[in-house]
């Protein structure tokens, strides 16, 4: 397993991590197989979504804020229940097929680290499995 760190810039942040994951695939020598990307945090997640229009991640933030507003009469004493709920909706892991030593993402797809309680320094864990 390989880990790398990300510094998020705001409470909510969507950061493309394709390049870092692709470099790890090469380092791990995976030419055919699958790579799992895991986020070991309860207020951050991962998603695969469109990379061509930055309004997509802005719209995702808007939708998530409507569904999980920061002020909602929550009981969690830290005051970040909305971040926990958003992270649960996104999920903590993603898998991508590797073929020819390359991530097999669609033309408009990217991997996004999703921060919901930043800014913070976060970790991403990556493990590839060869065929």
User: With contact defined as beta carbons under 8 Å apart, do 16 and 108 qualify?
Assistant: no
pTM for the complete prediction? 0.94
CATH classification of the domain holding 49: 2.60.120.460
| Range(s) of the domain holding residue 64 | 16-130
Q: What distance, in Å, lies between the first and last C-alpha atoms of the chain?
A: 17
How much is the pLDDT for 74?
A: 75
Average pLDDT over every residue of 120-129: 98
Question: CA 71 → CA 37, 74, 81, 90, distances in Å?
Answer: 31, 8, 9, 20
- Residue 80 pLDDT class (50, 70, 90 cuts): confident
pLDDT grade, residue 105 (50/70/90)?
Answer: very high
Q: Hey, which residues does 111 pair with through a beta bridge?
A: 48
Is residue 4 domain-resident? no
Looking at the 3D structure of the chain, how many domains does it have?
Answer: 1
Q: Is 23 helix (H, G, I), strand (E, B) or coil?
A: helix
pLDDT per position as a tens digit, 16-72? 999 999 999 999 999 999 999 999 999 999 999 999 999 999 999 999 999 999 888
């Amino acid at each position: 397993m390989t880990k790398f760190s990300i510094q998020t810039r705001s409470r909510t942040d969507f950061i493309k991590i394709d390049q870092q994951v692709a470099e790890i695939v090469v380092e791990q020598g995976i030419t055919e197989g699958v790579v799992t990307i895991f986020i070991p945090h309860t207020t951050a997640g991962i998603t695969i979504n469109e990379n061509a229009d930055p309004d997509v991640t802005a719209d995702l933030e808007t939708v998530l804020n409507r569904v999980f507003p920061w002020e909602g009469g929550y009981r969690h004493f830290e005051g970040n229940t909305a971040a926990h709920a958003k992270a649960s909706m996104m999920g903590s892991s993603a898998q991508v097929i590797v073929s020819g030593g390359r991530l097999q993402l669609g033309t408009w797809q990217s991997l996004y680290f999703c921060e919901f309680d930043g800014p913070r320094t976060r970790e991403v864990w990556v493990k590839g499995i060869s065929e």
